[in-house]
Amino acid sequence: MKKGKLISFSIMLALFLLISEVYGQGHTSGERKNVRENMFILRSLRMTQALDLTEGQTAVIFPELNRAEKEKAELQAELAREIRELRQLLNNKKAEEKDFEDRVAKIVDLREKVSLRESEFEKFLLSQLTSVQKARYIIFNIDFNRGMMERMGRARMAGQKNK
Amino acid sequence: MECEKAQKLISDWLDGKLSRWKEKKLNKHLASCQLCQDYLEAQKIIQREALEIGKVENPSQWWLQFEQGIRKKLSLAGQPDEIQIAGEEKNNKKTKWWNLHPQAVRAISILTIVVGTLFLILYIGQRKNSEELPLSLMLSYEESYFNLSQILAQDEVAASDFATNLEETILEEIFLAGGEDTIWEVEYNYPLNNYQIESNDLRIENKYSEESL
Per-domain boundaries in chain B = 1-53, 90-132, 141-206
Please tell me the distance from the alpha carbon of residue A133 to that of residue A52, in angstroms, as a whole number: 8
Average pLDDT over residues B69-87: 70
> Given this model, what pLDDT does residue B194 score?
35
Average pLDDT over residues B150-167: 86
Amino acid in the structure at residue B113: I
Closest chain B C-alpha to A92 CA, distance in angstroms: 19
- In B, minimum Cα distance to A116 occurs at B142
Dihedral sign computed on CA atoms, order B73, B77, B83, B89: negative
Please tell me the distance from the alpha carbon of residue B88 to that of residue B94, in angstroms, as a whole number: 10
Q: Of the given ranges (A69-78, B37-46, B94-103), which has the lowest mean pLDDT?
A: B94-103
Q: B158 and A41 in contact by Cβ < 8 A? A: no
| Helix axes B141-153 and A55-91, enclosed angle (nearest 10) | 40
Q: What is the pLDDT of residues A12-41, one digit of tens each?
A: 666 555 555 544 444 445 555 678 888 999
Q: A80 and B153 in contact by Cβ < 8 A? A: yes
The total domain count for chain A is 1
User: Which residues contact residue A114 at a Cβ distance below 8 angstroms, ignoring those fewer than 6 apart?
Assistant: A72, A75, A76, A79, B142, B146
Please tell me the distance from the alpha carbon of residue A28 to that of residue A106, in angstroms, as a whole number: 18
> Given this model, what pLDDT does residue A82 score?
94
Q: Please check whether residue A111 is in contact with residue A79, taking contact to mean a CB–CB distance below 8 angstroms.
A: yes
**A28 is in which domain, residue-wise?**
3-162
Where residue A132 falls among pLDDT bands split at 50, 70, 90? very high
Average pLDDT over residues A122-129: 94
Closest chain A C-alpha to B91 CA, distance in angstroms: 53
Q: A42 and B158 in contact by Cβ < 8 A? A: no
Q: A33 and B190 in contact by Cβ < 8 A? A: yes
Closest chain B C-alpha to A104 CA, distance in angstroms: 16
> Given this model, what pLDDT does residue B165 score?
86
Three-state DSSP at B183 gives coil
Where residue B155 falls among pLDDT bands split at 50, 70, 90? confident
Percentage of chain B lying above the pLDDT 70 cut: 66
Q: Per-residue pLDDT for A141 more than 60?
A: yes
- Which of the pair, B27 or B92, is modelled with greater confidence? B27
Complex-level ipTM: 0.79
